[in-house]
Each structure stands twice: as C-alpha cells, then as structure tokens.
Amino acid sequence: MSDSKPRGVYVAALTPVKPDLAPDTAAFVAHCRWLLDQGADGLAVLGTTGEANSFSVAERLDLLDALADGGIPGNTLLPGTGNCAIPDTVALTRKALEVGSAGVVMLPPFYYKNMTDDGLYAAYDQVIQRVGDSRLKVYFYHFPQMSNVPISHDLIERLLKAYPGTIAGIKDSSGNLDNMLEMCRRFPGFGVFAGSEQFLLPVLRAGGAGCISATANVTIAGCVDVYRNAQAADVEARQEALTGQRLAIQSKVLIPALKRIMARATGDAAAWANVRPPNMPLSEADATALFAALDGTGFKLAA
Amino acid sequence: MSDSKPRGVYVAALTPVKPDLAPDTAAFVAHCRWLLDQGADGLAVLGTTGEANSFSVAERLDLLDALADGGIPGNTLLPGTGNCAIPDTVALTRKALEVGSAGVVMLPPFYYKNMTDDGLYAAYDQVIQRVGDSRLKVYFYHFPQMSNVPISHDLIERLLKAYPGTIAGIKDSSGNLDNMLEMCRRFPGFGVFAGSEQFLLPVLRAGGAGCISATANVTIAGCVDVYRNAQAADVEARQEALTGQRLAIQSKVLIPALKRIMARATGDAAAWANVRPPNMPLSEADATALFAALDGTGFKLAA
C-alpha cells in the first residue's frame, strides 16, 4: 500500500445498481472517476453507503477488479473489507491489496453482539495474520448505530501495540465528536477520519486525517472547499454551509437520498434508480421534501 | 421439502471447530446424529448457535453437503440461510432444498438498521422469487437482540398473503412470550417455534409448533421429556426443571458455554475447544461458575 498516509476528503462511494439488482460496474467506475475529478482525495468504496453488505463477496471482488481495470488509481482507494466471517474479510482484504489500495476500512464482525474486546482482538488478529502482508494498512470502522459493535479505545491501543505498522486509523461514524477528538489526542499518528463532513474542520484542527463521508458523493465540492481552505479566515462559514447540506440530506435515509440527488444532478435517472433491498428507493414525498430542504442550503452539484 | 410440518424440539446445533478455526465437518455430522439419537425432532443447523455468520457461504454449503453425505435425513433439517446479501441467502437456500430440508430459518438482511417493512418485504420477496422452488418453506428468524432487525406481525401478514404455501412459520428468539402467543393467535397454521425451551410448554398450549433452541444441544433429554409429556399431570414440574437448566446456561455466553458442557460430557475436549472469533472459549472462572449452577439443577447430559 502507498507510503503517503491517506488524508483529506474520502468519499464513501455509492454503487449504482441495475434493474435486476446486479451492480452496474461501468456506472460505478464512472462515478468513482467523476468523484476524483471533483477533487476527492480518495474513495472509500464498498462501505455502508456502497451497499457492500448487500453484495456477495464475489460481487465485491468483481467491483474492485473493475476499478483497477477502469484505471482508478489503487492508492486512492480505502475499500471496506470487514465482514462477519473471517475468510470473507481476508478474501476482500487480499483483493484490496492486489489492486494497490492505500488501506482498508474494516468493520468488526458484526453479527454477534456484546462480544468482548478479547474476541474482537482475536478477529482482527486472525485477519491480519491470515492476510500476512506488510503492505496492509487497517482503518477500523466505528459505527455503533449500524454495526452495534463499537470499537473501544482499549481495543485500538492493544492492536496498535501488536501491529504498529498495520493499524493505521479509524473511520468514526458515531457522530460523537468527542470520541474523534479523544482518539486524536490519545493516539498520535493514528489517522482519525470523521464519518461525516459535519466534523471535518474540528477533526482536522485536532490533528485528524479528514473525513470519509457518504454525503460527500454529492457535497464533494463543499468538502474539498473546507479542506483546502482549512486555514482561511472564513473557513468556519464554509464549514457551516457544508454542515447545512449534510444535515438536510441525512434527514432522509442516506443511500436512496444520495442516489436520488445523483439522478437529478446527472439527468441519468436510470443509473441511479435502484438500490438493493432492504434499502428502497426514496419515495416521491421524501424526494420533494429533500430537494426543498437541500435547495434552501444553496446546494449545487457540479455534474 | 417435506409434507409433514415441522413440530417438536429442534436443536440449533453447534458447529465443532478445529484448532485452525475450520469447521470440523466429521464432528459436526457426528453431533447432529447424536442429537437425533437423543430424540430431537430436527436440527436447525447453521444458525446463531452454529456460528453460521462466522463461516463463509462456501464453508456453509460444504457443511450442508456433509450432512447429506453423512446420512442425516434432509427432512429433519431447518438450516439457517439468511444473510445480509440476497445472493448469499439464495445460494444457501437452494442448497438447503437440494439436501431435502424441511424448511429454512431465514434471518432478514441484518446489516442495515431501521429499514422499513417495505424494504424487508422486498428482500424476502427477492429471495423467494429467485429461489423459485415450490418446495420452499420459510421460517422467519426474529431475534431483535442479535440482528437488531425485528420481524413485525404486519410483515408476516403481507408475506403470508403473497406466499401462503411458502411462508411456514417463525423462530422467535426475542424471549418475549407475549409475542409468541400473539402470533399463535393471529396466524393459524403458522408454525411458531419458541427460541428457547423455557417457553416450550406455553407455546405448545397456544398451538405453537415447539421450540428451536441453542441450549437444546445439551438439554435435549429434558426438552423431549416436556414435549412428549405435554399432556401429563406433572408437566409443569418438568418444564420448571428444564427452565432451570436453560437459565443456568444462558447466564454465560451461550456458544462457548454449550461447547464447554459438551466437552465435559463427552470427554472429548479437543472437539469442543474452539470457537471462531469474535466468540471466545469460556474462561475457567466462567466454566466453574457454570458447572456449579448447572449441577445444582440436577442437569445430566447423556453422552
């Protein structure tokens, strides 16, 4: 994986889905290229927003191959690879390395709840040992509202001690800024990414790495604006405008809302019409409310 | 799948695991055979207790093949087949049909939370359509504490209406007896299995189908005793004794506790020593406390 540490604005890229619910590989590659063209520092593909856990491992391996074949630079990628089953996490992590990813974002095994830190340690340890590749850079994925399996600071400390060259950082999607800031303080050099651009500026100021965000699929211009102007006198106002957009979007179910925004912006309704169940397309009523709220923020998607 | 409806005591069978964390196929088949010999009416293999979600789909397909090859009658099987990704659920459900299973126990897609009933309906609908086999009998798996994706009565009603010959029942592991009794009342002919033998007798009396239980791996004799003697004058006392055993075991983390009990009972510590992370073997302190509590209930495992 790359020597330069991932920093900046990473997009938890959407995965376009065909009417038969198969991933639309060509549209996925085109979307990823467009995000990089818009200034994204990188792509956290196959995460929650990418509907990764609604795709089989084979489908996900194909999507990573398609990015490589499509010329998306591997060093821009932070693919999601964490599954409930260790062999699945190992297979996806190996493929991420094969396509030259800068790192991987690794959910803990998320079916069993109330597991001990010993158990979660053993799961990460098994994956790292079985992948057995010194290029591996692991970013934890802390998203207690979705996984119901939080990543404790003690677990981070133990794994950092055991694998200082491998454990690289975390995506914190808890929405708890204090947790992000505490990790910035407690673990110097550990790459803390806010899971939302709402927290981009405070996390950067605390020495964090940036953000990995779902809504950045459509707010990428505003995210890049805040990141590149983090030292500017008016950056607080830029962050505030960006936060307004984020909050307007997250008032709806994120994946269908983001796909609906992409459909409007690109005019390609067909490419963005489908989500894999249990997610469902946005209702017309929700879409109308979303666009009313979003347009009130001055939001404009370059497409 | 079989014409006779599954009824009685079904064991959520444990999966023995080798020191390298691979499933121990031979020990698994032997354990399933032993459970049937002990009087189990059937086997809900590859469920929560079977660590199914810690195994890859390929590993699970192999385990189902091994049961068939090992002579375990298909009509005793209710394999767990529900995954986060529809193609995985389809693949496992097809294999369950191929080995002649009486039905399948199907978790909803459990990664995304707070999905609508429309979304869960679409997920089950997709699976049933794609499997496309009139022999299919689906048992929902309601386990909100683990999946965080409850199965509502409205969802059951909608799917029962759409697929009356396919939607067969539910395993209710919520621990909420009222929920089980309400389903027995509301959905005549729908096979309600309590997810714990603690509720075996009240569910049978309400017209339910029986229980599918993790702890039945070791309490099978007591479960069969209550089921076969449901009309006996002293059945309440039998149920009370069985409940005492259940409660003693579930005071510990179930999978490692059950494997530890099997190790002691069979004398084959090696076969039962391993669990796949994030589950961990029972600590010595927990084992000591477990055996003290369990022995106080008069528990004895025939092995």
A187-244 residue pLDDT tens: 999 999 999 999 999 999 999 999 999 999 999 999 999 999 999 999 999 999 999 9
Phi/psi at A12 (nearest 5 deg)? -75, 85
Residue whose C-alpha is closest to residue B303's, from B276, B263, B273:
B263
Q: Is A250 an interface residue toward B (CB < 8 Å)?
A: no
ipTM above 0.95, yes or no: yes
Q: For B243-262, how does the pLDDT look when each residue is reduced to its tens digit (9 = 90+)?
A: 999 999 999 999 999 999 99
* pLDDT-based confidence at residue A138 (cuts at 50, 70, 90): very high
Question: Which amino acid is it at A248?
Answer: A
Residue B55: closest C-alpha in chain A: A85
pLDDT at residue A2, rounded to an integer: 43
Measure in Å the smallest separation between the Cα of B291 and chain A Cα atoms.
21
Let me know if B7 is exposed, middle or buried by CB neighbors in 10 A (0-12, 13-18, 19+): middle
DSSP for residue A114: S
* Mutation choice for B interface testing from A15, A51, A54 by most B CBs within 10 A: A54
Average pLDDT, chain A: 96
Q: Is A134 an interface residue toward B (CB < 8 Å)?
A: no
* Mutation choice for B interface testing from A93, A112, A152, A253 by most B CBs within 10 A: A112
pLDDT higher than threshold 70 for residue B2: no
Measure in Å the smallest separation between the Cα of B150 and chain A Cα atoms.
13
User: Which residues of chain B does A279 touch, with a Cβ-Cβ cutoff of 8 Å?
Assistant: 112, 115, 119
Among candidates A109, A278, A280 on the partner chain, residue whose Cβ is nearest the Cβ of B109 = A278
CB contact under 8 A, A54 and B280: no
Residue B112: closest C-alpha in chain A: A146
CB contact under 8 A, A112 and B56: no
Question: Which amino acid is it at A287?
Answer: A
pLDDT higher than threshold 50 for residue B68: yes
CB contact under 8 A, A53 and B111: yes
* pLDDT-based confidence at residue A303 (cuts at 50, 70, 90): low
Measure in Å the smallest separation between the Cα of A6 and chain B Cα atoms.
27
Q: Is A21 an interface residue toward B (CB < 8 Å)?
A: yes
Contact A220, A262 (CB under 8 A): no
pLDDT higher than threshold 90 for residue B140: yes
Task: Say whether A170 sits in a helix, a strand or coil.
Answer: strand
Task: Say whether A256 sits in a helix, a strand or coil.
Answer: helix
User: Which residues of chain B does A251 touch, with a Cβ-Cβ cutoff of 8 Å?
Assistant: none
DSSP for residue A230: T
Q: At what angle do helices B153-162 and B117-131 cross, to 10 degrees?
A: 30
Contact B89, B83 (CB under 8 A): yes
ω into A87 cis (within 30 of 0): no
Q: Is B4 an interface residue toward A (CB < 8 Å)?
A: no
Contact A60, A99 (CB under 8 A): no
Contact B167, B186 (CB under 8 A): no
Residue B87: closest C-alpha in chain A: A56
Q: For residue B186, what are the CA distances in angstroms to B159, B181, B189, B204?
A: 14, 9, 10, 15
pLDDT higher than threshold 70 for residue B3: no
pLDDT at residue A302, rounded to an integer: 64
CB contact under 8 A, A119 and B279: yes
* Mutation choice for B interface testing from A18, A49, A84, A279 by most B CBs within 10 A: A84
* Mutation choice for A interface testing from B56, B116, B151 by most A CBs within 10 A: B56
Range name among B29-33, B143-147, B292-296 with the lowest pLDDT average: B292-296
Give dist(CA B136, CA B159) in Å, integer. Answer: 14
Q: Which positions 137-166 of A are in contact with B (Cβ < 8 Å)?
A: 145-149
Q: Which residues contact A96 (CB under 8 A, 6 or more apart)?
A: A64, A77, A79, A81, A104
Q: Is B129 an interface residue toward A (CB < 8 Å)?
A: no
Question: Which amino acid is it at B225?
Answer: D
DSSP for residue A17: B
User: Which residues of chain B does A276 touch, with a Cβ-Cβ cutoff of 8 Å?
Assistant: 85-86
Q: Which residues contact B114 (CB under 8 A, 6 or more apart)?
A: none
CB contact under 8 A, A279 and B146: no
Give dist(CA A242, CA A199) in Å, integer. Answer: 10
CB contact under 8 A, B57 and A54: no
pLDDT at residue A301, rounded to an integer: 81
Among candidates A53, A87, A149 on the partner chain, residue whose Cβ is nearest the Cβ of B84 = A53
DSSP for residue A77: B
Q: For B92-128, how does the pLDDT look when each residue is reduced to its tens digit (9 = 90+)?
A: 999 999 999 999 999 999 999 999 999 999 999 999 9
DSSP letters spanning chain B: --SSPP-EEEE-----B-TTS-B-HHHHHHHHHHHHHTT-SEE--SSTTTTGGGS-HHHHHHHHHHHHHTT--GGGB--B---SSHHHHHHHHHHHHHTT-S-EEEPPP-SS-S--HHHHHHHHHHHHHHH--TT--EEEEE-HHHHS----HHHHHHHHHH-TTTEEEEEE-S--HHHHHHHHHHSTT-EEEESSGGGHHHHHHTT--EEEESTHHHHHHHHHHHHHTTTSTTHHHHHHHHHHHHHHHHTS-HHHHHHHHHHHHHS-TGGGS---TTS-PPPHHHHHHHHHHHHTTT-----
pLDDT higher than threshold 60 for residue B303: no
In angstroms, how far apart are the furthest CA atoms of chain B? 51
Among candidates A126, A145, A278 on the partner chain, residue whose Cβ is nearest the Cβ of B108 = A278
Q: Is A283 an interface residue toward B (CB < 8 Å)?
A: no
